[in-house]
Chains A and B, each alone.
Chain A
Amino acid sequence: MKHHYALLAAALAIAPLAPAEVPGNIAIKDAHIVTVSGADLPKATIVLRNGLIEDVGTNVTIPPGTWVIDGTGLTVYPGFIDALSTWGIPGAIPAPAGRAAGAAAQSPPAQTPAPAQALTQAQQQNPIEAENAGRPNVHGPEDRPQTYSFERAADLITPTDNRLEAARAAGFTSAATFPNRGIVEGLGAVIDLSGERGRDMVVAQPVGQQILFRVGGGGMGRAFPASLMGNIAYIRQLYLDLDQYKRAKETYASNPSGNRRPEYDHDLEGLAESPRILLPADQAQQIDRMISFGQELKVPYVLYGLHEAFKRVDQIKQANVPALISLKWPVAPRDADPTDIPNYRDLVIREQAPAVAGMFAKAGVKFAFYSDGVDTAPELKRAVKKAMDAGLSRADAVRALTLNAAEIYGVADRMGSLDKGKIANVVVTKGDAFDDRTTVEYVFVDGAMYQPSKELQQGPPAGGAPGGRRGTTPGNDSEGGRN
């Protein structure tokens, strides 16, 4: 912080605390600018003003009063977007895409408020019963098991999540973040990773409804659905209910007088509001299943997981479905029995999963990456690099993390590329993105400037991943060892 603009930088870093003071003009001059939407500009200028990109190009007039950063030797990218995240929702645990049977077992409920409508009076008085609400006496789809479709990520965002700082240090400025409990997990929001209050961070919502199949019957009690087929049948029923619900509402709206009003159903409202549905599809068979299921549901759908998608590239291309690839590459389990012989299929998946992105790029499948519990800067960087080492070009990697993610969630009009008028989400690096020696010099989120510390970029000492709970397999495992 000994540069000549140190004071200004410090002021801007604090700026989000006082939103009114945010406007400050910054220009990065003579930098290599990767616009993503258009051609790379080897020597160009970008002006950020009022939290937006004021101008970008080779022939840009820098307004007076603008703080100018000499961009020589620097590269400017659009801020990276985590395409399926829990960042900003601190209690959330990354949801696995279902490595076993395309299903995950019940995870502990996130620290989010229980749905008040589902509670009896007794349950409202007893917090333990309240937490279990809807679990023990679930017999079928009519009981709406593990359905939190009405829960909104936008309402759950807290800027104090300590993963945000680490994400910014890796160049991430935004995330499509989702609540994660139950089978129907709730409404996601695209957020910017900086803000004084949660509401400051929300860019767009709702952007989707995440589905996660949970096999095992809801924790302690045996409750429907306990099987994968039960899970799928339940979602199918839910969408049939939604169809009927919509029609009933339309009919009533056109002629309310003399008709009973249809009952308000907040589960279905949450579903109706969602512009798309995210389906877990990690293994090849599950990909087949989810493509046909998505087509059957007749709602826009997105697949996530996709570690075994190297077997299904053509099918995904043909289905014309966007795909979110987990950056938590499968690796040999830690602390495993040394005499255990890994099976061939696992070995193939471990080796081939990072190549999926490159295959998608060649085939023209629209895809983005998601953090899936990888949430320290060096691990994120290495995870992306691993896909590049397996055949993904740098340009495609950057596009996957920026414009593709924005397009998949329908927010490409405001983020995902360096174009005039978009949100000032920008990452400035010394060196090419994701290379080992590359450092992130500046990150602008909504125009607010951050200079990530070297410590964050190099990562905490081994074993000290922040929020190191289940699902946070450090990416550096994937570097060493036999894969």
Chain B
Amino acid sequence: MRTSWLALLLAPAAAGLLIAADNSVLVRNVDVHPVTGPEIHNGAVLVIDGKIAEVGARVAPRAGARVVDGHGLQLYPGMINAATNVGLEEIESIRDTIDLDEIGTFNPELRAEIAFNPSSEHIEVTRAAGITTVIALPGSGGRGGRGGAASPVITGQGALMHLEGWTWEDMAVKPSAVMDMLFPEIQGGGGRGGFAALLGGPTRTYAEEEKLYKQKLDQISQFFNEAREYKAAKAAAGPGFKRDIRLEAMIPVIDGQLPLFVRAERERMIKDAIEFADKEKVKIIIADPREMGSTGPMLKAHNIPVVLGKTFQLPMRDDDPYDAPYTLPNEFYKAGVKFCFGTFDVEFARNVPFEAAQAVAFGLPKDAALKGLTINSAEILGVGNELGSIEKGKMGDFILTDGDPLEAKTNIKQMFIGGREVSLESRHTREYEKWMKRP
């Protein structure tokens, strides 16, 4: 059991005594891991009105701030899962519970935060693992159709969401954090095409597939040009100007403010994505790469960050080493590329600390893994000033644990989001309680 019921029982009593604002809290007598600085043994963290006001070895209590004794506990920043579909999908096999993957090639106007279901069971479950914030992406990453014109490219705006709140408005930390993009891919000609032929499907040669791919890239460039023309027309505000939310949504992208969250699995796709970003002068994040290949130095030189996907998966090719997915994060680390972790799913979004931990077991330094769940994630997602570490002025998002959060055995004892204590109860704990009581 991860939850300390004792703490929950004591909390209202303490709060009652001090008549505390529910988002001001002093946690003391705790080992603080700010992530951006050295560990403070037996330190304290003070949160006033949801923001960290003080961090140090000794912090004086403040009137109106509830006091929590963190004796024997570790304090870490709340973890961030930088790629999920949490809130947009409840049960994968029930279409009615899914609000993902709009039809069409370019859908930049779609906003994930509006679709975010604040009552999703997955929110509590994910939170219980020490995750306070997630990116909710409007696309699942599935590619419709083979190399055809119909496969989606821009699936909409991903939102950075707190895993606590009454409504999606409460929960949105940054409503439009990234623009989700599935980079086109040259579908397998020949080899896989031959297989498709066996199944009665059409065959295309590699050359044909490559041609389709180039057409797709042209189509994307054309769309970006349209967005630029639209922006100019909007600025000119001529009489004939018509608002178009689709192109309007692209303005922050072409201005280089909103990063494209470019899903690119293979080395070749990553290279092409970098080239594309250079050409269009847009900011990109590479998402869910399955290999690094020679792209490390390029990514570093272009200062392009990476959101890594699951480490617990099979290697991409039959003959890849069994540990290729486990060692991939360390490859990026050694190449000096800034990265963080995501899971690109819903029900296993809770496992993101362990996805990172597996990379630690295969060579990634532990502090790099922790940064990839906290401060790097925040910086990559453009909220480095607000989240990701225990520093003055940041949001009061942190967890109290009885050990290292990368260890599966560690229990998350308490969680605070914006200085407000959050229940760690979930469907899992309720089921646990229920069945423990079975006579």
User: Are these two chains actual partners, yes or no?
Assistant: yes
Give 26 CB contacts A-B under 8 Å.
Answer: A100-B195, A100-B198, A105-B198, A105-B200, A106-B200, A108-B200, A219-B200, A333-B190, A333-B193, A333-B194, A334-B190, A335-B189, A335-B190, A335-B205, A335-B206, A336-B189, A336-B190, A336-B206, A337-B190, A337-B206, A338-B206, A339-B267, A340-B191, A341-B317, A341-B319, A344-B319
Distance of A339 Cα from B189 Cα, bound (Å) = 11
Known contacts A216-B199, A219-B200; is-contact A337 B319 (Cβ 8 Å) = no
Contact with A along B279-320 (1 / 0, CB 8 A): 000000000000000000000000000000000000001110
Q: Is B186 an interface residue (CB 8 A)?
A: yes
Q: Which 4 A-B pairs have the closest CB atoms?
A: A336-B190, A335-B205, A343-B318, A335-B190
Which residues, 265 to 281 on B, are CB-close (under 8 Å) to A?
Answer: 266-268
CA distance A338 to B210 in the complex (A): 11
Min Cβ gap A336→B in Å is 3
Contact B317 A343 (CB under 8 A): yes
A106 to B266, CA, bound (A): 32
- Determine if B200 and A335 form an interchain contact, defined as CB atoms under 8 angstroms apart: no
Contact status A104-B198, CB under 8 Å: yes
The answer to the question of B256 belonging to the interface, with a C-beta cut-off of 8 Å to chain A, is no
CB < 8 Å A-B pair total: 50
Given contacts A343-B319, A345-B318, contact A337 B199 (CB under 8 A): no
Contacts of A104 in B (CB 8 A): 198
Shortest distance between the CB of B210 and any CB in chain A (Å): 9
Cα A337 to Cα B186 in complex, Å, equals 8
Whether B199 lies near A334 (C-beta < 8 A) is no
- A470 adjacent to chain B (CB < 8 Å): yes
A residues 317-353 with Cβ under 8 Å of B? 333-341, 343-345
Indicate whether B197 reaches chain A with its CB closer than 8 angstroms.
Answer: yes
Which single residue of chain B is at the shortest CB-CB distance from A345? B318
The reply to whether A337 and B191 form a contact with Cβ atoms under 8 Å apart is yes
Beyond A333-B194, A339-B266, A341-B319, list 17 extra A-B contacts (CB 8 Å): A100-B195, A104-B198, A105-B198, A105-B199, A108-B200, A333-B190, A333-B193, A335-B206, A336-B191, A336-B206, A337-B188, A337-B189, A337-B191, A340-B191, A341-B317, A343-B317, A470-B197
Residues of B contacting A219 in the complex (Cβ-Cβ under 8 angstroms): 200
Could you say which of A100, A333, A470 has the most chain B C-beta atoms within 10 Å of its C-beta? A333
Q: Interface size of A by Cβ–Cβ distance < 8 Å?
A: 21
Q: Mark B153-195, 1 if CB is under 8 A from A, else 0.
A: 0000000000000000000000000000000001011110111
Within 8 A of A (CB), among B190-249: 190-191, 193-195, 197-200, 205-207, 209
Q: Closest B-chain residue to A106, C-beta based?
A: B200
Contacts of B198 in A (CB 8 A): 96, 100, 104-105
Give the Cβ gap from B272 to chain A, nearest Cβ, in Å: 12
Which A residues are CB-close (under 8 A) to B188? 336-337, 340
**Cα–Cα distance between A335 and B197 once the two chains are bound (Å):** 14
How far apart are B335's CB and chain A's nearest CB, in angstroms? 20
Question: Which A residues touch B194, using CB under 8 A?
Answer: 333
Q: How far is the CA of A455 from the CA of B317 in the complex (A)?
A: 44
Closest to B267 in A: A339
Q: Which residues of B contact A106 (CB under 8 A)?
A: 200
Instruction: Give A100 to B195 CA distance when docked, in angstroms.
Output: 9
Report A-chain residues with C-beta under 8 Å of the C-beta of B317.
341, 343
Asked whether A335 lies within 8 Å of B193 as measured between CB atoms, the reply is yes
B206 contact set on A, CB distance < 8 A: 335-338
A339 cross-chain contacts in B, Cβ below 8 A? 266-268
Identify which of residues 340-377 in chain A touch chain B, using a CB-to-CB cut-off of 8 Å. Answer: 340-341, 343-345
The answer to whether residues A344 and B318 also contact, given A105-B198, A470-B197 and a CB cut-off of 8 A, is yes
A368–B195 Cα gap in the complex (Å)? 28
**Which residues of A are found within 8 Å of B267, using beta-carbon distances?**
339
User: Which of the listed residues B198, B207, B209, B318 has the most CB atoms from chain A within 10 Å of its own CB?
Assistant: B198
Could you say which residues of chain A place their CB within 8 Å of the CB of B186? Answer: 337
**In the complex, which residues of chain B have a beta carbon less than 8 angstroms from the beta carbon of A338?**
206
A335: chain B residues within 8 A (beta carbon) = 189-190, 193, 205-207
How far, in Å, is A221 (CB) from chain B's closest CB? 13
A334 to B317, CA, bound (A): 20
> For B319, what are the chain A residues with a Cβ–Cβ distance below 8 Å?
341, 343-344
Distance in angstroms from A101 CB to nearest chain B CB is 11
CB distance from B317 to the nearest CB of A (A): 6
CB distance from A95 to the nearest CB of B (A): 12
Q: Which residue of B lies closest to A219 (CB)?
A: B200
Enumerate chain A residues within 8 angstroms of B193, measured Cβ to Cβ.
333, 335
Q: Are B200 and A334 in contact (CB under 8 A)?
A: no
- Chain A residues contacting B318 (CB-CB under 8 Å) are 343-345
Q: Who on chain B is nearest to A336 by CB? A: B190
* Nearest A-chain residue to B208, judged by Cβ: A335
In the complex, the answer to whether B191 meets A333 with C-beta atoms within 8 Å is yes
Residues of A within 8 A of B205 (CB): 334-335
A344, chain B: closest CB distance, angstroms: 5
Shortest C-beta distance, B69 to chain A (Å), equals 57
- C-alpha spacing A344/B193, complex, angstroms: 20
Q: Which of B189, B209, B267 has the most CB of A within 10 A?
A: B189
